[in-house]
Amino acid sequence: MSHAKTQRRKGQSFFLFASLRLCVSLKKSADKYLMRVLAIDPSLRSTGFAVLERLPGSKTRALEFGIIKNAAKLLPSSCLVAIHDRLAELIHKHQPECAAVEGIIFVQSHRTAITLGAARGAAILALAQRGIPVFEYAPKDIKQAVVGRGGADKNQVAFMVRALLGLTETPTFDAADALAIGMTHFQNHDSAQRGVKILSPI
């Protein structure tokens, strides 16, 4: 066999090997998520949480969601510890790059406002202790992002969340709110990347 033919075959073999490596690399990139967020709907007795991933192609997947349920007999201070500790577990398990929470809502009762503020503080503390940036979104903006109407009710939010994420069951209201918060963050992140808006952590 001539030297030229030998070199040509070596070149073809190298090209095939390089192509296979590139395909494997592309497959790994396609399987890897682009961003993971821990979304939280704070409440003293029933904090909603959700861990979502943004995948290539602007697809979103829910990894885990549910509520942190605190019994009525549990002292408020113990509820705050339970919220903090459960979120710390989720952070350790899923390693989110960022977090999103519902913004402060208007309530007529000062007691309710203090209670919600305390639950929100316990959640944010768990995130801040681990250096996770936290973004907040107003309730009407969350409903607008998921349902298309800022005045949507909880049933509509839960229905749309199930449909958009392809869930096999309708989540509870608190879990659905957390899922909606996470989806809202992804939408706002996309807008920020296009230069439409600026995201600032709290």
Q: What is the DSSP letter of 57?
A: T
Catalytically active residues are 41, 102, 174
The whole-angstrom separation of Cα 143 and Cα 140 is: 5
Residues 6+ apart with CB under 8 A from 201: 98, 133, 134, 135
**Length of the chain, please?**
202
Query: Is residue 135 packed enough to be buried (19+ CB in 10 Å), middle (13-18) or exposed (0-12)?
Result: buried
Using DSSP bridges, classify how beta strands 98-102 and 134-137 pair: parallel, antiparallel or unpaired: parallel
Asked if residue 37 lies in contact with residue 99, where contact means CB atoms within 8 angstroms, the answer is yes
